[in-house]
Amino acid sequence: MEKVHNVARLILAPLSLLTALHSSIAVSATSVAGSNSSNGRVFGICFDDANGDGQPDPRTSASADGGTTPVALAFYLDPLSIYANDAANARKLFVADEKGRIRALSWPSPLGDDKCNFTPVPDNHYQYDAATASAGPANPNGLSVTRGRQLLVLDSKAGNVKSQLWRFDLAQGHLGTPLLLDEDVKVNVNGETVSSQFLEEGLSLPNGDFLVASSDPRAILRYKADCIAGPGPCPAETLLGPDNLSGTPAGIALAPAPLTSKLLVSATNGTVEVYDMTSTGTPVRQANPLISGLNQGRFKIKTLRTVTGSEYQQYAGDLYLAGRNNGQIIQLNILDQNGELAAPRDEYGNFVYQALSSVQFPVGLAATEVDTASATECASATGCNITPAINHRIVAEHPIAGDVGEQYEIYPDPRTICGGNVIPACPPAGAPDYSASCDNSISLRQLNPAYEDVRIPGNLCGSPNIAVVDVNSSIDITSEVIEHTVEYSNISDALDCHGSDRSRQPVVAWATKAGEDPVVEGQKTVDVTSGCGSVRAGTREYSYFVFGLRYLPDPYSDLSGSKKSERQLTDLFVDIVRQEITALRATFEEARLSSGGSCVVDPDNLLGTSLSDLETDFDRGQHRFAQEHAQSFAGFIEADSSLVSPKNLGCSENFRGELQTRAIHIWYNINSKVLDKPWGSY
């Protein structure tokens, strides 16, 4: 490990205006990486409470070789890794060094209580060496990964060297042929491009535009999203010029969600300025810098959202600064004070921060962001593709406001019943050690201690991995349905929408969090799948989404492909759907009692009759008719908004959205699982 010094109660001379006091500790699924130019090592960075004493413990993970003077880092989570057998290698950290090489390290998802308890491992699938390449960047000095699974590389070096912008495609699981996008990034011969940043969703500037910080001339350059995604060439525009910058840029970053319209610029004069990009003109500099007094030096910066609850009601974030000249990596909280970003201070006016010291020459930073989108985007015709694997679309009847942020991680299913090798299967009935309480389920907390104790049922397995999207939202969904589409659903041997094995059809599950309106199933994931092909699902609100799942037939039954086994499989799905109908009934009765009976207003008993008919015909084995009743139940709610009132206007919860999505899912499961019809959508 890198030598670590906890300066929790010291005032450091090189940072005379910063006081190291205890910051708030937040547990999340985010990761931070850094590099040391003096020895070429790359490592994870942690400021959380590893000792369990309620105090932060600045430290690093074990390190890996980052080459000769690593200068730039960027995280990448391959969405296809959910269907591969190496979930431990799903997240990559790209590392560029001054010798013209780009390599990748496998970076594990945060597991266990100590997120720095790991060693990065080289991944030989992603390699580039300018010395042997026929074309490409000679001096990679900046890395950024696009949402289109492309790696952008700044090629620059101080001195009389032309700066360029290159692109590598990542879709094939390796670094593709480099494409030159800009052969002459406009910096002076003695200048250097020093940092880069993609613009996030929700800005007035187009989503996906690419920003580059230049030291000479002092400037923030901007590349249009449609150009960097195309064949090029791509000319740069000047977003901020010398007259708009207080110092020479050393690093740029966006403020954590949902304030990603704020651009942070670190300068060699020891300040971090904030620029508001909500207008279409030149970004406006905030009156007061976010932080000052860092002394002279080159400070690379990254930001992360601090999630303090299940919703973004209280803004909090973290700013990370790597000081190449003072041997420190600093974590500083970010606050929103009346629309301006600020850093906390103590009673004497000193900035409050945490510091990790003696890294000698930290030169690079990378962080796994909390991706975000606005309610407006999610309610658009195309929805919001926040992470690379799932799209959300709110079927809104009126304008809605708020933001959605989510973190996406992939984990191997550890249960032996699902092909893992960690958690043994429950003994079968009749075995000496049989226990009726053992059900082969697993808690999300067993995958990551940052998650809540939400259980995945024992009949749902990874394929072979489990994808978890942890969603935090400030959008109040009162009556709407949220439609979800999961990408990459048909590329796994374990999942198949088109085959004859019903147990291999992909499943999308959903669960609520503590503090949110509960569901009748309690704290466990609920199958909400409503279509296949690209897998579709519907929910009443955001929370946890778990996918890459499939149903596991009873492991103690003889399901060998015979007609008998097909009947057994049908019986299993009949039991599953019957439980889902029972949950629909319980939710409907809860809705009828909600708010003194004013939630469900159904004078002709359309909903009650169709639900009773659904139950009766299903129990009689008349599954086709039961499917029609499920369709009628959902159709009545969709066609007549007065049948079930909105949340806070007659209902205590979004019962309209929940009842509708439950009925649609039951229709789909009867169709695809019980009747064994070709996949389709409601």
Select from 265, 313, 304 the least CA-distant residue to 286.
265
User: What is the rounded average pLDDT of the residues 215-239?
Assistant: 85
What value does the mean pLDDT of the chain take? 77
Alpha helices in 594-621 (DSSP H): 606-619
Q: Which residue has the higher pLDDT, 21 or 377?
A: 377
Whether 19 contacts 351, CB under 8 Å: yes
Task: Give 128's contacts (C-beta < 8 A, 6+ positions apart).
Answer: 101, 102, 103, 136, 140, 168, 175, 178
Q: How far apart are CA 342 and CA 402, in angstroms?
A: 22
Select from 480, 465, 484 the least CA-distant residue to 530.
484
Q: What's the pLDDT tens digit per position in 510-549?
A: 898 877 778 888 889 999 988 875 666 666 667 888 988 9
Alpha helices in 485-562 (DSSP H): none
Looking at residue 407, its pLDDT comes to 74
**Residue 345: DSSP 8-state:** B
Q: Which residue has the higher pLDDT, 36 or 308?
A: 36
pLDDT exceeds cutoff 60 at 205: no
Dihedral of CA 73/136/233/169: which sign? negative
Residue 207 — very low, low, confident or very high, per pLDDT cuts 50/70/90? low
Q: What's the pLDDT tens digit per position in 581-608?
A: 999 999 999 999 988 889 999 999 999 9
Dihedral of CA 633/634/639/641: which sign? positive
Looking at residue 22, its pLDDT comes to 30
Whether 100 contacts 71, CB under 8 Å: no
Select from 680, 501, 524 the least CA-distant residue to 573.
501
Other beta carbons within 10 Å of 132: 10
pLDDT exceeds cutoff 90 at 390: no
Q: Which residue has the higher pLDDT, 615 or 113?
A: 615
Whether 408 contacts 417, CB under 8 Å: no
H or E element, residue 95:
strand 91-97
pLDDT exceeds cutoff 80 at 15: no
Q: Which residue has the tokens 């409907």?
A: 588
pLDDT exceeds cutoff 60 at 490: no
Looking at residue 79, its pLDDT comes to 60
Pick from 196-210, 253-267, 395-409, 607-621 the range whose average pLDDT is largest: 607-621
Q: What's the pLDDT tens digit per position in 410-438?
A: 788 889 888 888 888 888 888 888 888 88
Select from 485, 527, 474, 494 the least CA-distant residue to 202.
474
User: What is the rounded average pLDDT of the residues 266-274?
Assistant: 87
Q: Of 10-14, 76-80, 166-170, 397-401, where does mean pLDDT reach its minimum?
A: 10-14
What percent of the chain shows pLDDT beyond 70? Answer: 76
User: What is the rounded average pLDDT of the residues 33-45?
Assistant: 81
Q: Which residue has the higher pLDDT, 269 or 616?
A: 616
Q: What's the pLDDT tens digit per position in 293-345?
A: 876 555 666 665 554 433 334 566 777 777 766 677 888 888 888 878 888 88
pTM above 0.85, yes or no: no
Q: What does the H/E/C string look like for 291-303?
A: ECCCCCCCEEEEE
User: What is the rounded average pLDDT of the residues 245-252?
Assistant: 85
What percent of the chain shows pLDDT beyond 90? Answer: 19
User: What is the rounded average pLDDT of the residues 70-87?
Assistant: 68
Residue 21 — very low, low, confident or very high, per pLDDT cuts 50/70/90? very low
Looking at residue 324, its pLDDT comes to 66
Looking at residue 19, its pLDDT comes to 38
Looking at residue 636, its pLDDT comes to 95
Q: How far apart are CA 266 and CA 503, in angstroms?
A: 53
Q: Of 154-168, 188-202, 539-553, 560-574, where does mean pLDDT reach its minimum?
A: 188-202
**Residue 671: DSSP 8-state:** I
Q: Looking at 377-528, which runs of residues are DSSP E strands?
A: 384-387, 390-395, 403-412, 442-443, 455-456, 460-473, 481-486, 507-511, 526-527
**Residue 361: DSSP 8-state:** S
Looking at residue 43, its pLDDT comes to 84
Whether 24 contacts 333, CB under 8 Å: yes
The domain spans of the chain are 244-361, 380-418+440-562, 563-681
Per DSSP, what are the bridge partners of residue 670?
Answer: none
Q: How far apart are CA 186 and CA 496, in angstroms?
A: 50
Q: How far apart are CA 24 and CA 256, in angstroms?
A: 16
Amino acid (one-letter) located at 155: D
For residue 638, count CB atoms less than 10 angstroms from its CB and return exposed for 0-12, middle for 13-18, buried for 19 or more: middle
Looking at residue 166, its pLDDT comes to 92
pLDDT exceeds cutoff 90 at 352: no
Q: How far apart are CA 328 and CA 342, in angstroms?
A: 21
Looking at residue 202, its pLDDT comes to 34
User: What is the rounded average pLDDT of the residues 95-124?
Assistant: 78
From residue 138, alpha-carbon distances to 91, 194, 300 in Å are: 26, 15, 22
For residue 349, count CB atoms less than 10 angstroms from its CB and return exposed for 0-12, middle for 13-18, buried for 19 or more: exposed
Written as six digits, the tokens of 581 are 């109908």
Pick from 447-461, 561-575, 592-606 the range whose average pLDDT is largest: 592-606
Whole-angstrom distance between the N-terminal and C-terminal Cα of the chain?
54
Q: What's the pLDDT tens digit per position in 134-191?
A: 999 988 888 888 766 788 888 877 655 678 889 999 877 788 899 999 988 876 434 4
Q: Which residue has the higher pLDDT, 212 or 385?
A: 212
Q: Looking at 375-424, which runs of residues are DSSP E strands?
A: 384-387, 390-395, 403-412
Residue 681 — very low, low, confident or very high, per pLDDT cuts 50/70/90? low
Looking at residue 72, its pLDDT comes to 85
DSSP per residue, 281-331 = SSPEEPSS-SB----SS-EEEEEEE---SSSS-S--EEEEEEETTTTEEEE
pLDDT exceeds cutoff 50 at 491: no
Which value, in Å, is the radius of gyration of the alpha carbons in the chain? 27
Task: Give 347's contacts (C-beta < 8 A, 6+ positions apart).
Answer: none
Instruction: Determine phi and psi for 98, rounding to 5 degrees.
Output: -75, -5
Q: What's the pLDDT tens digit per position in 502-512?
A: 888 889 898 98
Whether 592 contacts 632, CB under 8 Å: no
